[in-house]
């Protein structure tokens, strides 16, 4: 089905180019077979039910009677460095429900027996590649840098108060599903999608103010996808001052420079090298 969709898209693109519809700068690549490792990990965490216990988008809040903290810890609260001492510990938590190091800790096991909700083991349900995607996702949401400058702290607060995080995700990590869109999800700021949709700071500001950039709005083929997608970028020109728009642009480009690289979709060979397992 995906192959059929790809062929159909490129046929449309060829027709558009022949009729002049493809003359504008429209080079957004068709949906890849794999998203970035981060996006795949985020999608997996949702499909496996992780957010059912760790809270919406992994942000905690689910009660756990008998637990030392009274609830299941959030995934983005420093839980990863608190319970793990490296990537292999994280893999063991995913595959076996706890790391082998903690399994040998009698006090830790005694605390676990008192709590109602236990971490399940997913080893029988995940491929080595999927485990690596989850490792990337968990590390990324725990390694997000703090906005130390006053201007960036104000920008981060504005990003949340304007509702940007609801669609583009925490720290602009993206991946929220968007039916009808070209790639099926709302892009974040940290992947290749951003570079295809936003050429420079001026276009970033245009997206925020107008909800679209003229470069794409003037292309008939691009406009088809922009019209069809269910989630549409709001226009904030009546809600944000020019200074606030500039503040958000600063924040977006700071995130791109400060966050770890989440764009790469690992090859099977790279996963094998990381896990020591044959694919």
Average pLDDT value for residue range 28-37? 54
Are 143 and 260 contacting, i.e. CB atoms less than 8 angstroms apart? yes
Res 195 pLDDT > 90: no
pTM: 0.64
Q: In which band, very low, low, confident or very high, does the pLDDT at 10 lie, cut at 50, 70 and 90?
A: very low
Q: Strand, helix or coil at 176? A: strand
Q: Which residue has tokens 């791109």? A: 256
Burial class (CB in 10 A: 0-12, 13-18, 19+), 19: exposed
What is the C-alpha separation between 183 and 181, in angstroms, rounded? 6
Average pLDDT value for residue range 259-277? 47
Q: Indicate the range of 18-32, 88-102, 220-234 predicted with least confidence.
A: 18-32
Average pLDDT value for residue range 180-198? 85
Identical topology for domains 34-143 and 147-272: yes
Helix (H) or strand (E) holding 186: strand 185-186
Res 128 pLDDT > 90: yes
The string of pLDDT tens digits covering residues 58-74 is: 878 889 999 888 988 88
Give pLDDT, residue 8: 45
Burial class (CB in 10 A: 0-12, 13-18, 19+), 62: middle
Give pLDDT, residue 202: 97
Domain boundaries, the chain: 34-143, 147-272
What is the C-alpha separation between 217 and 220, in angstroms, rounded? 7
Are 133 and 37 contacting, i.e. CB atoms less than 8 angstroms apart? yes
The string of pLDDT tens digits covering residues 151-174 is: 999 999 999 999 998 888 777 877
Domain 147-272: state its class: mainly alpha
- The pairing of beta strand 185-186 with beta strand 176-177: antiparallel
The residue ranking higher by pLDDT, 260 or 161, is 161
Does the structural domain 34-143 have CATH classification 1.10.760?
Answer: yes
Query: What separation in angstroms does the CA of 108 have from each of 73, 103, 105, 111, 174?
Result: 15, 8, 5, 5, 35
Average pLDDT value for residue range 43-50? 90
Are 68 and 111 contacting, i.e. CB atoms less than 8 angstroms apart? yes
What is the C-alpha separation between 39 and 34, in angstroms, rounded? 9
The token duo for 96 is: 């076996």
């Amino acid at each position: 089905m995906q192959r059929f969709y790809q062929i159909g898209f490129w046929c449309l693109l060829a027709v558009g180019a022949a009729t002049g519809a493809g003359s504008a700068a429209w080079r957004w690549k068709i949906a890849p077979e794999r998203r970035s490792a981060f996006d795949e990990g985020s999608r997996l965490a949702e499909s496996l039910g992780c957010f059912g216990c760790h809270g919406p988008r992994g942000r905690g809040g689910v009660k756990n009677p008998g637990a030392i903290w009274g609830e299941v810890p959030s995934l983005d609260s420093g839980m990863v460095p608190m319970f793990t001492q490296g990537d292999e510990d994280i893999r063991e938590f995913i595959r076996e429900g706890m790391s082998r190091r903690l399994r040998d800790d009698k006090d830790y096991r005694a605390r676990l027996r008192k709590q109602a909700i236990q971490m399940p083991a997913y080893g029988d349900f995940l491929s080595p590649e999927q485990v690596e995607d989850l490792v990337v996702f968990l590390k990324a949401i725990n390694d997000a840098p703090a906005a130390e400058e006053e201007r960036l702290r104000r920008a981060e607060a504005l990003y949340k108060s304007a509702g940007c995080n609801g669609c583009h995700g925490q720290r602009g990590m993206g991946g929220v599903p968007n039916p009808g869109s070209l790639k099926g999800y709302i892009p974040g700021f940290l992947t290749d999608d951003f570079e295809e949709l936003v050429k420079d700071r001026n276009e970033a500001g245009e997206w925020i103010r107008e909800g679209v950039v003229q470069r794409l709005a003037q292309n008939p083929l691009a406009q088809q996808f922009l019209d069809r997608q269910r989630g549409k970028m709001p226009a904030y020109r009546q809600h944000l001052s020019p200074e606030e728009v500039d503040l958000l642009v600063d924040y977006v480009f700071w995130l791109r420079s400060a966050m770890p690289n989440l764009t790469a979709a690992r090859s099977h060979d790279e996963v094998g090298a990381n896990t020591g397992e044959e694919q």
